[in-house]
């Protein structure tokens, strides 16, 4: 049910986010016991600011209330996806070419459950990672999850 509810939230706010030039990265609805938490991570070209998140939060809250999307009380959190943002589809992969990524596979491949490497190429069906000295090509269907994996200076 939580997945269905997250989908309804995403549908309800899609045009609002587009109008704000924000891209929904992830929408999650968790909790129960009388109070749910709606976590929405958003991004935009050049990154989001605290002001972007505050404005989006105010307007999203209004839309969810007006549409009656949430069945009962909830806490709304709107945030940046962070430096390790998830990669959701081919467009995310294309934007991330040249960056370090970590992927988890649905099923092990050559004894590996996942890879970390530099994303070198991405099209509508497949992508290529440089892992060590090897280039590995994978289809999006083979991926259970993927995130940016920046090497941070600390």
The domains located in the chain, with CATH, are 2-79 (3.30.300.70), 90-148 (2.30.30.100)
Q: Which phi and psi angles does 19 have, rounded to 5°? A: -65, -30
94 by Cβ neighbours in 10 Å (0-12 / 13-18 / 19+) ranks as middle
- What is the rounded CA–CA span in Å between residue 128 and residue 138? 6
Query: Per-residue confidence at 47, pLDDT binned at 50, 70, 90?
Result: confident
Model's pTM, two decimal places? 0.77
Q: What pLDDT shows up at residue 46?
A: 85
Query: Per-residue confidence at 88, pLDDT binned at 50, 70, 90?
Result: confident
Q: What pLDDT shows up at residue 131?
A: 94
Q: What pLDDT shows up at residue 53?
A: 96
Q: Is the pLDDT of residue 129 over 60?
A: yes
Measured from the Cβ of residue 30, the count of other Cβ atoms closer than 10 Å reads 12
- What is the rounded CA–CA span in Å between residue 75 and residue 144? 28
Average pLDDT, the chain: 91
**Average pLDDT value for residue range 51-68:** 95
**Average pLDDT value for residue range 114-132:** 95
Q: What pLDDT shows up at residue 3?
A: 63
Q: What pLDDT shows up at residue 67?
A: 92
Q: Is the pLDDT of residue 151 over 90?
A: no
């Amino acid at each position: 049910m939580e997945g269905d509810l997250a989908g309804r939230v995403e549908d309800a706010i899609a045009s609002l986010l587009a109008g704000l030039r924000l891209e929904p990265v992830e929408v999650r609805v968790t909790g129960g016991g009388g109070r749910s938490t709606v976590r929405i991570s958003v991004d935009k070209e050049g990154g989001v600011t605290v002001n972007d998140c505050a404005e989006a939060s105010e307007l999203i809250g209004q839309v969810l209330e007006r549409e009656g999307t949430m069945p009962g009380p909830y806490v709304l959190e709107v945030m940046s996806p962070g430096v390790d943002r998830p990669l959701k589809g081919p467009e995310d992969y294309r934007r991330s070419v040249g960056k370090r990524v970590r992927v988890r596979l649905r099923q092990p491949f050559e004894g590996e459950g996942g890879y970390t490497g530099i994303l070198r190429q991405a099209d509508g069906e497949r992508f290529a990672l440089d892992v060590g000295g090897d280039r590995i090509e994978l289809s999006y269907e083979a991926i259970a999850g993927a995130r940016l994996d920046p090497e941070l200076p600390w």
